[in-house]
A = this chain, B = another copy of it.
Amino acid sequence: MGRPRGFDEAEVVRAAAALFAGRTYDGVSVDDLVTHLGVHRNSLYKTFGSKRGLYLAALRWYLEHEVHPLVASLGRAGDPVRAARLASEAGAGLDFLLLATVERAPVDAEVAAEVTSALHAVDGALGAVLHAGPDNGRRADDGGASSALATAFTAALLGLRLRAKAGGPDTGPDRAGAALAQRLDSTLSR
């Protein structure tokens, strides 16, 4: 019953994620969304309820379709240097997570929950990479210090992307990530 919708909801959510990754939540107006998404105001509110509803949908789509695959490949990286290179190659693929963490998570509990969950996933992948050198399995228990190290590694990779956004392309976040990863490599240090 009724006329079928003339837009692809998944495509709309994907395009919304692209917009929200590039500008602040307040910096993206509903007019912007209507214009760039090809969906009409009415349908937007019918489908997502509000601007925030669309934002949450876009965030979840992004985490599932962009961050999750990256986390999976990080877990398969084998060593920290390769993991850092993967994160560096992701480039703007982390911008939405960065923006959501710094500007929305502090004022939106649902965003905070999604974001912390995603960050913990990254922690897990990087922790596995930090533990396992190519020669052995898990190291002796260190009282959680290595998971703390994974937290710091995640923070560093996000922070490097942050710096890449602020400074021009001249800053060398790639080399910085590589230098850090080399230091963290369990097969070299200790």
Q: Which residues of A140-190 have CB atoms within 8 Å of chain B's CB atoms?
A: 144-146, 148-149, 151-160, 162-163, 165-167, 171-173, 175-180, 183-184, 189-190
Answer whether residue A105 sits at the interface, using C-beta atoms and an 8 A cutoff: yes
Most buried by B among A149, A155, A171: A155
Some 27 contacts from A to B, beta carbons below 8 A apart, are A23-B107, A98-B162, A99-B102, A101-B165, A102-B166, A103-B103, A105-B166, A112-B166, A112-B167, A115-B166, A116-B167, A116-B171, A119-B167, A148-B175, A148-B178, A149-B180, A149-B183, A151-B160, A151-B175, A151-B176, A155-B155, A155-B156, A155-B160, A155-B162, A155-B176, A156-B180, A189-B190
Residue of B nearest to A151 (CB): B176
Answer whether residue A89 sits at the interface, using C-beta atoms and an 8 A cutoff: no
Name A residues whose Cβ lies closer than 8 Å to a Cβ of B: 23-27, 98-99, 101-103, 105-107, 112, 115-116, 119, 144-146, 148-149, 151-160, 162-163, 165-167, 171-173, 175-180, 183-184, 189-190
Contacting pair B166 A151 (CB below 8 A): no
Contacting pair A102 B162 (CB below 8 A): yes
Known: A103-B103, A155-B159, A155-B160. 4 other contacts (CB 8 A): A24-B103, A115-B166, A148-B176, A155-B173
Copies of this polypeptide in the complex: 2
The majority secondary structure among interface residues of chain A is helix
Q: How far is the CB of A183 from chain B (nearest CB, A)?
A: 6
Q: How far is the CB of A26 from chain B (nearest CB, A)?
A: 4
A134→B116 CA distance, assembly (Å)? 38
**Selected contact of A159 from candidates B105, B156, B175, CB within 8 Å:** B156
